[in-house]
Structure 1
Amino acid sequence: MFERTDAGAGGQVGFFFEGSRVEARAGDTVAAAILAHGERSVRTTPASGAPRGPFCFMGTCFECLVEIDGVPNRQACMVVVAEGMDVRRQEGAREATP
């Protein structure tokens, strides 16, 4: 189970996940904020549609791919939340973007 270890300091940042507003700590990655919000799945696999979620938190496994502000294939563990950001689950495979 994902759980924060301290109360933390700093401000709050609001973003949207699947259309719902989520409050995160300033400086959180998208992956950390989504997990702290209680969500476990951020994408589905192209082959079976199985749910997948953040795993390594250092950008090597690509399990946390999401769509951010309309751009697919973003690693949620490598992007810091920003006010008003729109994050969506990535369903299956998406075209690679340059």
Structure 2
Amino acid sequence: MQDFEYIKIVPDERLSGFVESFLLCANHTNEDKEVIIFPDGRVDIMFSCTDQEPLVAELFNLDKKARRYIFKKQTRLFMVCLTLLGAKYLLG
């Protein structure tokens, strides 16, 4: 098994106006890892979970600044990367 896993999925044509991509990331190690998340012009909804913690949802890239993130050990992340239209629809 790899220490880190990253899978990018392109959405179905029916969602492509609202969703740029879906991402699955996983830290399979027994160590927390600090990463820097750089804004890329999208708004992302990130869902994270571990065996010990409940599901958490966070919005990213609303402030347009780089952000430090602690990628906790044995954590799985699922991200929905929205298009501008998708972000406008979701955030009103």
TM-score normalised by length of structure 1? 0.33
Higher relative contact order (Cα pairs below 8 Å, separated by 6+ residues): 2
TM-score normalised by length of structure 2? 0.35
The higher radius of gyration belongs to 2
